[in-house]
Every structure is written in structure tokens, then in C-alpha cells.
Amino acid sequence: GESVGLHLPTLSVQEGDNSIINCAYSNSASDYFIWYKQESGKGPQFIIDIRSNMDKRQGQRVTVLLNKTVKHLSLQIAATQPGDSAVYFCAELYNFNKFYFGSGTKLNVKP
Amino acid sequence: KAGVTQTPRYLIKTRGQQVTLSCSPISGHRSVSWYQQTPGQGLQFLFEYFSETQRNKGNFPGRFSGRQFSNSRSEMNVSTLELGDSALYLCASSYRTGDHEQYFGPGTRLTVT
């Protein structure tokens, strides 16, 4: 099967700093890569996605970078806020068919 | 537009029992996927339904089954429950199969004792 993994299980940042959450994937043929945010007691929430033919995509305070050479995906959150505290998952959509999720990184924002 | 709803939100069952979970997708969405989330395994894909047909299936035993109705609502059933089935069961809906934008419900927390 395919595997999507995260480098760090927990990331602590100071409020106002930028956060970078990393993800490694194994299938170079995946079509889309997606980041989700999951707050305690809630289901995952779609944040941003990037198609496999792109290198960078920006949203509101978030940027996703895709490095296909090393099969690496990152999520950058600018000016991290306490409300950003959550678990973040990367996922890959393979063959427009199945999603494979990483194990998640817990982001802890310190006031 | 209302989000994905799942019922019940919490459930406690004993080993050997069976359970049925329900998911109502976002209006207009015809694809429903089910996932199991545990601390040890993370999010694992169970199956996906589109137009009342199972389109994809993950690597779970036959005790896990599902179905979808003509109004796109979906149910999943787990028979002969085991302790290891304790998990958060999430459903996600999207317009069509393979859509990269899927929206999750809050989940059903199943505890098997």
C-alpha cells in the first residue's frame, strides 16, 4: 500500500511565529495532496490542497509546498494563533481513487 | 448549507454485538467515504459509496460493511464487535468519486467493552 508519513508528532511554536509542518509521501503518482486540521472532538477540516503538477499554493495565512524530487510536502502557517492549535494531517489522493493519510502532527501554540 | 452529520455521536457496545452508524452527506454530495481513526493507526479508509454502489474498499475484514441509499445517506455496520474496533468512525462526503475535496463529519466514537 501507499504510505504518507509525518516527520514530527508534536510541534510547539510561540504565538505570532510561523509554523512549518512537514510530510513525506511515497507514491510519486498521486494526483492531489491535501492538508487537514483536526481539532479535539471534531472531524478533520479541509485546509488547502495542491495538485501534483504544482510546486506551491497559497491560501489565507497558509502555504503548501510540494517537492516532488524528494517526495516532500509542507504546510506553512503564518503568524500562528492559538486557534491554530490542532492536529494536522497530510493526505494524498492516488489515482483519483483512494486517500492515504499521514499519522498527524500536533501543533501546540504557546501564548 | 449544512455539513456532514453523523449519528450517534457516542456509542458503547460489548464484544460480540453489532452496530450500525449513520452518515448524512452535504446536500448535493453523492459520494460518501468511511474511515476508522485510532491513536495507533491514524486514519484508515474503510470504503466509499457513490450512487448506492461501493466504489472502493480498504483492507478491513468482512465484519465491516456499508450501504448507501438513494438520498445518498450511508450506513456502516460492524458485526461481531471486537475490542480493537474501538475507534472514532468518520464519514466524509464529496460531489463525486475521487473528488479531492471531501468534507468530514464530527465522527461517531465507538467504545467496545
> pLDDT per residue over B25-47, tens digit each?
999 999 999 999 988 778 899 99
Average pLDDT rounded to a whole number, residues B77-93? 97
The beta-carbon neighbor of B45 closest among A49, A95, A99 is A99
CA distance B69 to chain A (A): 21
Average pLDDT rounded to a whole number, residues B66-90? 97
CB A23 within 8 A of CB A101: no
The beta-carbon neighbor of A46 closest among B45, B101, B105 is B101
| pLDDT score recorded for residue A3 | 45
Using a CB-CB cut-off of 8 Å, the residues of chain A touching B106 are 41-43
CB B92 within 8 A of CB B76: no
Interface of B with A (CB under 8 A): 4, 33, 35, 42-45, 56, 58-59, 90, 92, 97-98, 100-107
Dist CA A41 CA A44 (whole Å): 10
Average pLDDT rounded to a whole number, residues A51-61? 96
The answer, yes or no, to whether residue A1 has pLDDT greater than 60, is: no
Q: pLDDT band for position B1 (50/70/90)? A: low
The beta-carbon neighbor of A101 closest among B43, B105, B107 is B43
Contact B105 A46 (CB under 8 A): no
Share of chain B above pLDDT 70, in %: 99
Q: Residue B78's beta-bridge partner residues?
A: B19, B64
Dist CA A66 CA B111 (whole Å): 38
Residue of B nearest to A46 (CA): B103
Average pLDDT, chain A: 89
